[in-house]
A and B are shown apart, each in its own frame.
Chain A
Amino acid sequence: MNIVVLLKQTPDTESVIRIAGDGKSIVTNDLKWIINPYDEFAVEAALRLKEKHGGTVTIVSWGPQRVVESIRTALAMGADSGVLVDDDALEGSDSLGVARVLAAAAQELAPDIILCGSRAVDYDEAQRGPMVAELLGWPHLALGVAIDSDGAKVSIDRPIEGGKVSVEADLPAVVTLGGSHAVWNPRYASLPGIMKAKKKPLATKKIADLGVDPGDCGAGAAKICITSLEMPPERAPGRIIDGGLDALGKAQELVKALHDEAKVI
């Protein structure tokens, strides 16, 4: 089974986000970069499918050279090879532009299944997987918290509001992963894994190598763009309910505050 994982590098979830001078991007020079956690779940899911069915796991990513470190981490976890699309022409792409490039890069690898996170923890677009599937004309299953495949079909459990659905698709298909660290428990890169990862193939490509028309990605092709960023409204300073009250007194005071001031009970 040939598996492609679409992986994005994102700032660490513990990062403090600051708006840059242009008012529409974030300050990136002091950020720590990680594999988008949901894509890390996808790497873990891919490695489990490979353990069951054999085959290969290829990481496909995009962005500047700093992304190489994240791809190497995935290779150290056990993936076999990587492709990085590093091209200035991608600058300013919307999700559809990125999806075109990823669909082209994945298609070259003739995968049976493409996995990726259901969303990325940076811009939370939640578009990549379904868009790649639509562009390839493949079915897709979204938000898997469990995955299984018999080699001809793939199935997932998918949480919805107030319940869970199990869904299945014929291969080839795209599957996006949800859940949490507790669900997937993604493996750590072992020391031998890290040593081996250094020798695994990692190709850097331009969009021309993928046959993508530069007019189909980048800022010029974007249907939507960010025009400004703003910080969330500052919360008015709260108050500590104290006033020398004991626990019971505080409980009574809180009930009163929630009724009189907040009007929520």
Chain B
Amino acid sequence: MSKCVCVIAEFRNGNFRRVSFEVVSEGRRLANSLGAALCGIAVGSGVQDKAAELGRYGVDKVYVVDDPALENYVAETYAPVIGQVVEKCNPLAVILPASVDGKDLAARLAARLRAGLAQDCTQIACENGVIKAKRPIFAGKCFAWCEWAQGALPIISCRPNVMDCSAPMEDKKAETEAFAAAIPEARSRVLGIDLDTSGKVELTEAEIIVSGGRGMKGPENYAMLEDLARLLGAAVGASRAAVDSGWRPHSDQVGQTGKVVNPNLYIAVGISGAIQHLAGMGSSKFIVAVNKDPEAPIFSKADFGIVEDLFTFVPLFKDEVEKFKSTCS
């Protein structure tokens, strides 16, 4: 294959993660503008049987490294294995998910290949064969356009939930080729994996987030938000104030020192809207703010503002959503 763009698909628990398909779709668009082929890189244990699936989103050929030693993500082994495939492909660019593992892998891979890395990109552009990528800095207070030096390999990690996922071409299968990679001896290992099986939606990948702040007054009151979230299929987030008070786990924190999220709908309940919180959720497509203080800064970002006591409003709102859902189904 002459010129190509490489996409690295993320495989976990026997399946590709959804963000992989977003990345493949974006890779296809970039490959088209460059007049290049799209090569997939699929690494894991048991990934061989699934690899051809990437064709549904536009991959022409998948290089597969399927080995029990690659069952779990370990940067120290994944980076050299994937590095070998990239070196063989000699691509115009490498694209991968800016997931937890993806960002980590991208950094180690970039150092290994002496490449230039743009993390967590929200847009990729290509003008006259020149690749540019846009990424948030200062947790989204500002955006930076990046370009690569002549001859440098662009590695681009894409923020989940941002790139358009193409409609799958159901009958399309990618060609697959087993790649015999040397897997180095690792000095690091996974001791255990504890997956939450409660069906809780991950914040950074959620389409709807219901978030609570200092106005919730205590941890016991979050049950109300959890009920609403369950009804909406939403994840529950929290402001730094709520996390610092010990009401919610740190993994729920939204903001500059927490997670940056971009759901379709963000419902901020009892959150005043400190600048470091606004940075973390300001790119949400729709924002609803519920706060009894009409002067709260959160209202400046909200598409729909509700000035009410949250303890009165949230249960009423939940009932109305429930009624609405029952009339729709």
Contact = CB atoms under 8 A, between A and B. Distances in A.
Interface string A139-177: 111110100000000010011111111111110010000
B162 interface: no
Q: Classify chain B's interface size.
A: 35 or more
B324 A265 contact: yes
Contact of B117 (A127, A170, A240): A127
A251 interface: yes
Interface string A9-39: 0010111110100001010000000000110
Nearest to B244: A182
B154 interface: yes
Contacts of A250: 306, 308, 313
Contacts of A165: 72, 190, 192-194
B87 to A, nearest CB: 15
A129 B105 CA distance: 11
B103 interface: yes
A158 B276 CA distance: 24
B140 interface: yes
A152 B326 CA distance: 59
B308 A126 contact: no
Nearest to B76: A139
Interface string A172-186: 010000011111000
Q: Which of A15, A138, A161 has the most CB of B within 10 A?
A: A161
A13 B188 contact: no
Given A182-B250, A264-B286, A161 B154 contact: no
A97 to B, nearest CB: 10
A143 B102 CA distance: 12
Interface stretch (A59-67, A203-211, A220-228): A220-228
A130 to B, nearest CB: 4
Interface in B57-75: 72, 74-75
Interface in B95-146: 99-101, 103-104, 106-108, 110-112, 114-120, 132, 135-146
A213 interface: no
Nearest to A164: B194
B86 interface: no
Given A226-B144, A247-B312, A162 B195 contact: yes
Sorted from nearest, which 7 A-B pairs have the closest CB atoms?
Answer: A224-B116, A223-B116, A169-B188, A163-B195, A130-B107, A223-B152, A134-B111
Interface of A: 11, 13-17, 19, 24, 26, 37-38, 94-96, 99, 121-131, 133-135, 138-143, 145, 155, 158-170, 173, 179-183, 222-232, 235-236, 238-242, 247-248, 250-252, 254-255, 257-259, 262, 264-265
